[in-house]
Amino acid sequence: MTDTELRTSGTSETTASGAWAVLLPAERYEAERLVHHDTLELTGLEGVVRPRPGDPVAVLVDEPLRLVALGRVALATAETREDPDDPQSEAGPGELVVTYTRRVLDEPVPVDDLLALDGPVTGLDLAAWRELAARLGPPPARRSWLVSLDLPIEAASPAEAVRLFWSYVQELGPRELPAFVSPSGDELAMQAYVLGVVANQDPEEDD
């Protein structure tokens, strides 16, 4: 599961009817930052002009307007989950599916001087989409990271402790549990993340 640069070849451009801007609600943007998804599935778009499969998409958030991802429209699935963080949530009909090709969820790029959106899905010309894509610059080099989650658990056996561990992980999730991450080979640089951002776990430093 890696982000790839979007290739706008002559073939792909001639098959696309145009480009699109998709505006994410604040709570959905938070969910996309917390858990990795290869696709973005959006519902509740009744009455909105629908992009065609293969059309390039710019994904944005508002206040201020910022670019957070690029993608392409994929074929809609038969069903999608109402809550992307909860695999047990009730399923509903799939509406608009975007396959991510580039993500900058943690460092959104300001674009309020370039676009004026008129709803959750807005048509763009390809020149405007290309300018948005150009603002992202080249993708950063990928590297290996060590990510860990330590929970003290009381149990009668190792197997029970593991079951309780996964129960806590599913119940509390990334909104409450700190995950510890460091570059491979540099464990002294470890940092704790909660809600997708660095979180200080040393109470003495807060005094």
Lowest mean pLDDT among 24-28, 90-94, 103-107, 153-157: 90-94
74 or 90: which leads in pLDDT = 74
* Residues β-bridged to residue 146: 182
Please check the confidence at residue 15 and state whether its pLDDT lies above 90. no
Given this model, what pLDDT does residue 111 score? 92
Please check the confidence at residue 37 and state whether its pLDDT lies above 50. yes
Structure-token pair, residue 77? 């699935």
pLDDT band at 115 (very low <50, low <70, confident <90, very high): confident
113 or 9: which leads in pLDDT = 113
Lowest mean pLDDT among 48-52, 80-84, 116-120, 173-177: 80-84
Q: How many CA atoms lie within 13 A of 117 on its CB side?
A: 21
DSSP assignment letter at 53: T
94 or 133: which leads in pLDDT = 133
Taking the domain 10-136, which CATH number applies? 3.10.590.10
pTM beyond 0.85: the answer is: no
pLDDT band at 118 (very low <50, low <70, confident <90, very high): confident
- Using an 8 Å Cβ cutoff, are 85 and 102 in contact? no
Given this model, what pLDDT does residue 154 score? 96
Determine the Cα–Cα distance for residues 41 and 31; give it in Å rounded to an integer.
12
In order of 88, 99, 179, 198, 199, the CA distances from 195 in angstroms are 21, 23, 10, 8, 9
Please check the confidence at residue 85 and state whether its pLDDT lies above 80. no
Q: What is the pLDDT of residues 157-166, one digit of tens each?
A: 999 999 999 9
Determine the Cα–Cα distance for residues 135 and 139; give it in Å rounded to an integer.
11
DSSP reduced 3-state for 157? coil
Please check the confidence at residue 3 and state whether its pLDDT lies above 80. no
Q: How many CA atoms lie within 13 A of 52 on its CB side?
A: 7
Share of the chain above pLDDT 70, in %: 78
The residues spanned by each domain of the chain are 10-136, 145-206
Integer Rg of the chain from CA: 20
* Residues β-bridged to residue 167: none
